[in-house]
């Protein structure tokens, strides 16, 4: 099977992910949905985004399988947007972006702190080796060709 290369999407999961969620509004929509904001009008009000932009971004997230569009009212017809399993799997990525922003854009004074709902302890983002349970820093990460990467012809 031969695939056309589309700006590195064939060989990079980061590029493919950014094709779905890689703009400011989409990430902020996801942030709000994770916080429990599910209705179009509430998202529009919270974000101050134009209705046409919000509609487009939500449709793209639904088409990508990140959100489900769920009817909550018949008259008038109204929908809310719920995370799918695929959408919930974006949580660590958003937490990582937030942590970077807290450190580098908020001078270490985070505007919001994520905590464990049961005990209230602030969360830590970490990368851990599943074999030795050691915390891994960026200088100890390497990459290799994965099973999803086809050879170029």
Q: Quick one: pLDDT at residue 9?
A: 55
Whole-number Å distance between alpha carbons of 97 and 71: 31
Instruction: Examine the pLDDT at 152 and tell me if it is beyond 60.
Output: no
In tens, the pLDDT along 60-97 reads: 999 999 999 999 999 999 999 999 999 999 999 999 99
Share of the chain above pLDDT 90, in %: 80
pTM: 0.85
Q: Quick one: pLDDT at residue 153?
A: 39
DSSP strand pairing (78-83 vs 67-73): antiparallel
Mean pLDDT of the chain: 91
Instruction: Examine the pLDDT at 99 and tell me if it is beyond 60.
Output: yes
Instruction: Examine the pLDDT at 12 and tell me if it is beyond 50.
Output: yes
Instruction: Examine the pLDDT at 33 and tell me if it is beyond 50.
Output: yes
Candidate from 9-18, 25-34, 44-53 with smallest mean pLDDT: 9-18
Q: Quick one: pLDDT at residue 145?
A: 86
Strand partners, 40: none
Provide the residue count of the chain.
153
Domains and CATH numbers, the chain: 27-89 (1.10.10.10)
Distances (CA, A) of 5 to 10, 12, 29, 103: 6, 11, 29, 36
Q: Quick one: pLDDT at residue 10?
A: 62
């Amino acid at each position: 099977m031969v695939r056309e290369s589309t700006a590195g999407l064939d060989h990079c999961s980061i590029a493919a992910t950014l094709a779905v969620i890689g703009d400011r509004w989409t990430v902020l929509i996801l942030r709000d949905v994770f916080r429990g904001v599910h209705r179009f009008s509430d998202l529009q009000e919270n974000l101050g985004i134009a209705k046409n932009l919000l509609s487009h971004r939500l449709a793209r997230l639904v088409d990508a399988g990140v959100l489900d569009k769920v009817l909550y009212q018949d008259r008038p017809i109204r929908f809310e947007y719920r995370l799918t399993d695929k959408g919930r799997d974006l949580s660590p990525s958003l937490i990582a972006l937030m942590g970077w922003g807290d450190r580098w854009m908020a001078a270490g004074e985070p505007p919001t702190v994520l905590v464990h709902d049961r005990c209230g302890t602030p969360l830590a983002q970490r990368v851990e080796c599943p074999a030795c349970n050691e915390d891994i820093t960026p200088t100890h990460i390497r990459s290799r060709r994965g099973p999803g990467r086809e050879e170029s012809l």
